[in-house]
Amino acid sequence: MTSYTLPKAFITTVVGSYPKFPEAKDALERRKRNEISEEEFRKACRVAIEKVVRDYLDAGIDLISDGEQTREDMVVFFAERLKGFEIGDWVRIFDNMYFRKPVVKDKIEFVSPMAVEDWEYAQSISQGRPVKFIITGPYTILDWSFNLYYKSREDLIMDLARALRKEIEEAVRRGAKFVQIDEPALSTRPYPEEAQLLRDALREMLHGLDCKKILHICFGRLEKIIPHLLEYPVDQLDLEFKNSNFRLLPFLKEYGYNKELGYGVVDVHSLRVETVKEIKDAVYMLLKLDIIGPEKIYLDPDCGLKRLPREIAIEKLRNIVRAAKELRKEYGYE
Amino acid sequence: MSEFEVYVLGAYPRSAQIRKAVRDYDEGKLTDLEFQVVLQREVAYLCGIQRGAGLTAIQDPLLEVQDIFRPFIESWRNVSVDGLLRYFDNNFFYRVPVFSDRPDIQRMVLTRRARSLRQIVPDYRIKMIVPGPVTFSYLSRTDIDKRELAHEITRIYTIELENASSYRIDILQVDEPFLLDIDAAPEHYDLASECLRELKRVFNGKLVLALYFGLPRGECVKKLNDLPVEYVSLSLVEYPERWLSILRATDIGDKKVIVGVVDGRDIRIETYDEVKRLVSKLCEVIGKERIGGVTTSTWLDMIPLSYAISKTIILGQYGLRLREELHR
Ligand SMILES: [Zn+2]
Res. B26: pLDDT tops 70: yes
Mean residue pLDDT across chain B: 95
Do residue A148 and residue B267 have CB atoms under 8 angstroms apart? yes
Q: What is the interface pTM, i.e. ipTM, of the complex? A: 0.92
Compute, in angstroms, the gap from residue A238 CA to the centroid of ligand 1.
Answer: 9
Q: What is the pLDDT of residues A99-108, one digit of tens each?
A: 999 999 999 9
Res. B187: pLDDT tops 60: yes
Instruction: Report the alpha-carbon distance of residue B137 to residue B151 in Å, rounded.
Output: 9
Do residue B91 and residue A189 have CB atoms under 8 angstroms apart? no
The set of long-range contacts for A328-331, using a CB threshold of 8 Å and a minimum separation of 24, is A328/A7, A328/A8, A328/A9, A328/A10, A328/A294, A331/A9, A331/A10, A331/A294
Q: What is the pLDDT of residues B201-222, one digit of tens each?
A: 999 999 999 999 999 988 999 9
Distance from CA of A270 to the nearest CA of B (A): 10
- Domains belonging to chain A, first-starting first, are 11-21+49-71+114-330 (3.20.20.210)
Average pLDDT over residues B244-257: 92
Mean residue pLDDT across chain A: 96
Res. B169: pLDDT tops 50: yes
Cα distances from B304 to residues A103, A144, A236, B310, in angstroms, run 11, 14, 38, 10
Half-sphere exposure of A292 (CA within 13 A, CB side): 23
Compute, in angstroms, the gap from residue B265 CA to the centroid of ligand 1.
Answer: 23
What total of structural domains would you count in chain B? Answer: 1
Neighbours of B185 (CB within 10 A): 15
Distance from CA of B7 to the nearest CA of A (A): 22
| Among A111, A116, A115, A90, CA closest to A101 | A90
Res. B1: pLDDT tops 70: no
Instruction: Report the alpha-carbon distance of residue B5 to residue B171 in Å, rounded.
Output: 10
Q: What is the pLDDT of residue A226?
A: 94
Do residue A89 and residue B304 have CB atoms under 8 angstroms apart? yes
Average pLDDT over residues B179-203: 97
| Among B119, B210, B101, B195, CA closest to B155 | B195
What are the residue ranges in chain A where pLDDT is below 70? 1
Considering only CB atoms, which residues of chain A are within 8 Å of chain B?
88-96, 98, 101, 103, 143-144, 146-148, 185, 188-191, 219-221, 224, 269
| pTM greater than the 0.80 cutoff | yes
Q: What is the pLDDT of residue A1?
A: 54
* Model confidence band, residue B36 (pLDDT cutoffs 50, 70, 90): very high
* Model confidence band, residue B328 (pLDDT cutoffs 50, 70, 90): confident
Instruction: Report the alpha-carbon distance of residue A320 to residue A322 in Å, rounded.
Output: 6
Contacts of A191 (CB under 8 A, 6+ apart): A224, A225, B182
Nearest to B182 among A90, A224, A269 (CB): A224
Domain encompassing residue B314 = 5-326
Cα distances from B220 to residues A22, A196, B90, B217, B223, in angstroms, run 51, 25, 22, 5, 5
CATH number of domain containing B45: 3.20.20.210
Instruction: Report the alpha-carbon distance of residue B210 to residue B5 in Å, rounded.
Output: 14
Instruction: Report the alpha-carbon distance of residue A258 to residue A61 in Å, rounded.
Output: 24
Q: What is the pLDDT of residue B2?
A: 66
Question: CA nearest A140 in B: which residue?
Answer: B91
Query: What percentage of chain B carries pLDDT values higher than 70?
Result: 99
Neighbours of B194 (CB within 10 A): 16
Q: A13 pairs with which residues across the strands?
A: A63
Q: What is the pLDDT of residues B43-88, one digit of tens each?
A: 999 999 999 999 999 999 999 999 999 999 999 999 999 888 889 9
Instruction: Report the alpha-carbon distance of residue A45 to residue A52 in Å, rounded.
Output: 11
Do residue B92 and residue A92 have CB atoms under 8 angstroms apart? yes
Residues A172, A179 contacting (CB under 8 angstroms): yes
Q: What is the pLDDT of residue B327?
A: 81
